Amino acid sequence: MDRLRRDGERFMEELSREYYLAHSGQKSSAELQPVYEKYAAILGPDALAMTLDQFRGAAPDSEAHRGLRLLADWLAESQSARALASLDEREISWEGSAVVRLADGRELEYQRVAIELANTADVRERHAIDSARAALVQRELAPLRRERFQRERDITEELGIGDGYNATFELLSGIHLNGLRSECDAFLRETQSMWDDVLPEFLHARLGITKIEATRADALALFRAKEFDRFFPPTSMETSIRKQVREMGIDATASGRVIFDTGDREGKRSRAFCAPVRIPNEVYLVMRPHGGQTDWNTFLHELGHALHFAYMRPDLQYEYRWLGDNSITEGYAMLFDHLMQDVGWLKRYTELGPANLRSFLRAVGFEELHFLRRYAAKLSYEIELYGGGVSWDALPDLYTDRLTTATGFRYSPADAFVDVDPHFYAARYLRAWQLQALLTETLVDRFDADWWRNPRAGPWICSALFGEGQRELAGEQAQRVAGKEISFAPLVRAVTRLLE
């Protein structure tokens, strides 16, 4: 087990560096297979069998059981990840080099398409760009992704750990999928009338279109919210946010351990990410600018991740720093990005004056409700994708039905295997939203409504939250710091207030 932890950390560092260099546009592709080959001894079936044996023999509520569950989950996922490394390399290479060709002869770098869609005002041009993108994805990327999920499910089920992929995930993650899906279904029902009221209003006011016309490409333009750009200038983004973090008693660079990679670069992913290459000593915050308040929100989100990794206790065991319930780190990312919903924070650190606060907060509430409903539908779809009860050929229609029904935006079947973060990451996001709501309430109780500039709050966050890595499940942490169960109830209350 000592060797497993020691070499496991080295493996994760090398793998994370490959992903960082490739997704940030500094390499044309990630060289994953050599890394998996180098560490084959700790990633193979023998290591998994040893870990599962110890996991099953450990006392259920013991610390040993907790750590062994995380190691077993990692090793089980590694069985498919190692076999799929060549596919992942092909996908990363494709995304970095693919070009979308439009009917008028223009060419767009695939990685910039989301940015172009968000910034294109003309609805016909926006739809034309997205149609060309979807056609390319359907021909070239979707088959790669479908093969990946098919093979991942087959390999995992052949391990015989649980009765199917979903049961295996539940056993090793500690997350009950059907319980969470039931919560999501109830949330969708509870917020349906609210969504039906606000969606047509925002579509008409911002884009001049009706719900019947709206596609997912229009959602990107809608939530770009260009009318607020002047209040969120790019020149002051990092300065203002670093100032706020400093006032809270935290160094935003963690004494140089956090490195900011926030400029434009050809080949860089449009989707921002945090790359912890050496935890806690080398952490990259990576984003490609879109413009306006979108960038501020994204920077705050990734900063929450980066500070979490950079302020973890270095003496934590490997599994508590690198593995665990990612609902925790996503909860911290949301804790920071939800500062964009705080009136006091907006007044202090942005140029959004009192005359524009009400309209901005309504816009933020609208976006929050959309993403909650989108991820509730994604989880429902992904349970079917991994569950095996729906044929692979039927999944695209199921995807478009679930996502279109929940959001009101028309989705393309081309994205059925592309719009999926593997291994039920949608469940992590949903639990993170729930955790964030309780953490915010706890910080207000401990450090007042302006906890985000209380110099006592930062050290407590670093010690009581960030320092513990991902040792706990989201529900366990909620009980420890807030004494409550995680649920959608505080999120519904918050969205209702924002939309008033």
**φ and ψ of 273, to 5 deg:** -160, 165
Quote the mean pLDDT of the chain: 95
Q: What pLDDT sits at residue 290?
A: 85
Asked if pLDDT for residue 400 goes beyond 90, the answer is yes
d(CA 108, CA 112): 7
The greatest distance separating any two alpha carbons of the chain, rounded to the nearest whole angstrom, comes to: 65
d(CA 451, CA 467): 19
User: What's the token pair of residue 224?
Assistant: 């770009």
Asked if pLDDT for residue 33 goes beyond 90, the answer is yes
Asked if pLDDT for residue 384 goes beyond 90, the answer is yes
Q: What pLDDT sits at residue 407?
A: 98
What are the structural domain ranges in the chain?
A: 177-251+289-499
Q: What pLDDT sits at residue 500?
A: 86
User: What's the token pair of residue 18?
Assistant: 């490959």
Segment 288-314 mean pLDDT: 94
Asked if pLDDT for residue 224 goes beyond 90, the answer is no
Asked if pLDDT for residue 260 goes beyond 90, the answer is yes
Q: What pLDDT sits at residue 28?
A: 87
Residue type, 3: R
Handedness of CA 403, 404, 408, 412 (dihedral sign): positive
Share of the chain above pLDDT 70, in %: 100
Asked if pLDDT for residue 226 goes beyond 90, the answer is no
Q: Which of 364, 366, 370, 377 is nearest to 419 (CA)?
A: 377
Asked if pLDDT for residue 498 goes beyond 90, the answer is yes
pLDDT-based confidence at residue 292 (cuts at 50, 70, 90): confident
Q: What pLDDT sits at residue 64?
A: 95
Segment 80-100 mean pLDDT: 93
Long-range interactions of 123-126: CB distance < 8 A, separation 24+? 123/207, 123/208, 123/209, 123/213, 123/218, 126/217, 126/218, 126/221
**φ and ψ of 61, to 5 deg:** -105, 15
Condensed to tens digits (0 to 9), the pLDDT of residues 431-483 reads: 999 999 999 999 999 999 999 999 999 999 999 999 999 999 999 999 999 99
Handedness of CA 296, 300, 302, 306 (dihedral sign): positive
- Which single residue is written with the structure tokens 């429902």? 380
Q: What pLDDT sits at residue 347?
A: 95
Asked if pLDDT for residue 225 goes beyond 90, the answer is no
Bridging pattern class, strands 282-286 and 273-278: antiparallel
d(CA 198, CA 218): 15
Which distant-in-sequence residues (6+ apart) come within 8 Å of 251 by Cβ? 245
Segment 360-368 mean pLDDT: 95
Segment 23-33 mean pLDDT: 92
d(CA 249, CA 235): 23
Top-tier CATH class for 177-251+289-499: mainly alpha
Asked if pLDDT for residue 270 goes beyond 90, the answer is no
3-state secondary structure the chain: CHHHHHHHHHHHHHHHHHHHHHHCCCCCCCCCHHHHHHCHHHHCHHHHHHHHHHHHHCCCCCHHHHHHHHHHHHHHHHHHHHHCHHHHHHHHHHHHHCEEECCCCCEEEHHHHHHHHHHCCCHHHHHHHHHHHHHHHHHHHHHHHHHHHHHHHHHHHHCCCCCCHHHHHHHHHCCCHHHHHHHHHHHHHHHHHHHHHHHHHHHHHHHCCCCCCCEHHHHHHHHHCHHHHHHCCHHHHHHHHHHHHHHCCCCCCCCCCEEEECCCCCCCCCCCEEEEEECCCEEEEECCCCCHHHHHHHHHHHHHHHHHHHCCCCCCCHHHHHCCCCHHHHHHHHHHHHHHHCHHHHHHHCCCCHHHHHHHHHHHHHHHHHHHHHHHHHHHHHHHHHHCCCCHHHHHHHHHHHHHHHHCCECCHHHCCCCCCCCCHHHHHHHHHHHHHHHHHHHHHHHCCCHHHCCCHHHHHHHHHHHHCCCCCHHHHHHHHHCCCCCCHHHHHHHHHHHC
Condensed to tens digits (0 to 9), the pLDDT of residues 181-202 reads: 999 999 999 999 999 999 999 9
Q: What pLDDT sits at residue 24?
A: 95
> Other CB atoms closer than 10 Å to residue 38's CB: what's the count?
14
